[in-house]
Amino acid sequence: MVTILVISGLGVVPPLLVRSLIDDAIPSGDMGMVSLLGGAMVAVPLLNAGVGVFQRYLSARVGEGIIYDLRGQLFAHLDGMSLGFFTHTKTGELMNRLNSDVVGAQQAVTGTMMTIASNVVSLIAALIVMFGADWRLTLLAIAAFPLFVLPARRVARILRRITEEQMERQAGMSAVLQEVFNVSGALLVKIFGREGYERERFDTQAIQVRDLGVRSALVGRWFFAGLGLISAVGTAAVFWVGGWLVINGDMTIGTIVMFSTLLTQLYGPLSAITNSRVEFTTSLVSFERVFEILDLEPEIVEADDPVVLEDAAGAIEFDSMWFRYEGEEPVGLESVRRLSRRDFEPGGPMAITTSDRRWALEDVSFRIEPGEMVALVGPSGAGKTTIGSMVARLYDADRGTVSIDGIDVKQLSFESVSSTVGIVTQDTYLFHDTIAANLRYADPAATDARIERACRAANIHDFVTGLPDGYETVVGERGHRLSGGEKQRLAIARVILKDPRILILDEATSHLDNRSEALIQEALERLMQGRTSLVIAHRLSTVRAADRILVIDRGRLAESGTHEELLRNDNGLYTLLHRTVLSDTA
């Protein structure tokens, strides 16, 4: 604000110098005054430039600081969202908000707001000098003010709507890019030869962004043309009246020349302020899109006074637990979209009906004792993976409780759940980094010796050491430089390195050949000694080794018992699965 005041104050000095030069220095033939005024005309722009550079430094610091703060808050907030949020939201849309929308919000503060502030001060300074010189011409000049303000409201509304639609389309374009250009998406496109389709899908979004940009440019161009015409009419009127006053001897030539310069500093800032209002209104769209994310309430939150679980025994209990993935309200970004709230009301196109909200798990109750190995079997989609996710508190139960060592997981600290439960999922994810870095994701402080022991236990050490760069080998995007079995063995090594009390293995050996599986199974048996293990598997050998088998069917616990006990029921689901699904072949 100080630099704005200084720059705006310096802006009205040159017209005053010109008036003194024309009315005083030249008529009196005072070359000393002419030289002094000439030097001042050079000094003022130099000083103005120096202050302007300092102002730009300050505004850049503020602007980049705002971007950093907003991005940091957005990242931290998104990092705390539940897994359900990410399954309902396109990654490209989130990326667009973290990048484009944050920059748009920053521009509103450091660009638009700075412009408004500096031009208001310039406008006031110019009016003060103009009123001091001649009140009649000043009133004539400001008579055009309403013509600047009135069109701005309508233009702002039009551009706001265009900007909202532009950002939606840009988010859609980012979503297409993210889906197609990640390695899994690129592989799918190549396999099915859908390059042409994806180009068309991208072009559809890009064309809409282009057309909206053209509309925005045309609206802005007509608006500026109107402001320019108003400025020209106001300037002509002032010159006409001012010329008449000079001819009649009521005003000096220096004053009219000064007015001609000040009119530029009057109508220029006025046009900028009017346009800034339009820009600020459209910039608010970016703010809204940023705060839409920040205002989202996480579905899974830590208790106010969480229980820290130390030396967990590893007992797991489900007590009349019900869960469904689709709740009563929209999830993800759909829950905060401004333009379609009514769409989610009953009968709306995005409404979730009762039939859509099928229970994934219904009235599930069982207990797993510390150190017990329990196998989960059942048809695809029965809810086996969901049970493992509930133990790790990736989702919260809608009814009933899930407990670890007799404590509801909702009351445990996030750190306690994370350190107690380890999962090897079906779809192994590896970062585009080295093998060692991916393994240390489980424990950043892990030594090379511990990493080697974990890899030996997972039967992957010999393979890794056989690579040219060993443990420093970069695995590529999502680990696609490795085979499925190699990735899963690394995932097993990673969870071994974590050393959790509770192990959840979700088809952890599904991509291994028989030899590798036998070695891994032996290592896992040693690893699971003294630990609670929940194993989801289709292999008969894995199921037989379990202390107990839970048979899940359509979200319900259908049967429970050992392999031999369950086979005694000839009409049971386990017997049917044993005949048709469970096998010892890959």
Q: Are 275 and 376 within one domain?
A: no
For 378-486, list the strands marked E by DSSP: 399-404, 407-408, 421-424
Q: Measured between alpha carbons, how far is 194 from 192 in angstroms, rounded to an integer?
A: 5
Is 493 part of a structural domain of the chain?
no
Q: Are 144 and 227 within one domain?
A: yes
Is 362 part of a structural domain of the chain?
yes
Is 442 part of a structural domain of the chain?
no
Q: Can you give the CATH number for the domain in which 510 is found?
A: 3.40.50.300
- Number of structural domains found in the chain: 2
Q: Per-residue confidence of the chain (586 residues) as pLDDT tens digits?
A: 788 778 777 777 777 777 777 777 777 777 777 788 778 888 888 888 888 888 888 887 887 888 888 888 888 888 888 887 887 777 777 887 777 777 777 777 776 777 777 777 777 777 777 777 777 777 777 776 666 666 666 777 777 788 778 777 877 777 777 777 766 677 677 776 777 878 888 888 888 888 888 887 777 677 767 767 776 776 777 777 777 877 777 777 777 777 777 777 777 777 777 666 666 766 777 778 888 888 888 888 888 899 998 888 889 999 999 998 876 555 556 555 544 333 434 444 444 444 445 889 999 999 999 988 899 998 888 888 899 989 999 889 999 999 999 999 999 999 999 889 988 887 788 888 898 998 998 888 889 999 998 888 888 888 889 888 888 988 887 777 887 778 888 888 888 888 889 988 887 665 566 666 666 666 667 667 778 989 887 777 778 878 899 999 989 999 999 888 888 888 888 888 887 766 554 3
Is 452 part of a structural domain of the chain?
no
Q: Are 172 and 249 within one domain?
A: yes
* Residue 382 neighbours by CB distance under 10 Å: 21
Is 494 part of a structural domain of the chain?
no
Is 447 part of a structural domain of the chain?
no
Q: Can you give the CATH number for the domain in which 275 is found?
A: 1.20.1560.10
Q: Are 39 and 133 within one domain?
A: yes
Q: Are 355 and 207 within one domain?
A: no
Tell me whether residue 336 is exposed, middle or buried, using C-beta atoms within 10 angstroms of its C-beta: 0 to 12, 13 to 18, 19 or more.
Answer: middle
* Residues in CB range of 453: below 8 A, 6 or more apart: none
Q: Are 95 and 225 within one domain?
A: yes
Q: Measured between alpha carbons, how far is 64 from 105 in angstroms, rounded to an integer?
A: 11
**CA–CA distances in Å: residue 215 to residues 41, 101, 204, 210, 409:** 43, 20, 17, 9, 53
Q: Are 143 and 94 within one domain?
A: yes
Q: Are 168 and 270 within one domain?
A: yes
Q: Are 267 and 210 within one domain?
A: yes
Task: Report H helices in 295-392.
Answer: 384-391
Residue 245 sits in which domain range?
A: 2-294
Is 237 part of a structural domain of the chain?
yes
Q: Are 324 and 225 within one domain?
A: no
Q: Are 278 and 361 within one domain?
A: no
Q: Are 278 and 389 within one domain?
A: no
Is 467 part of a structural domain of the chain?
no
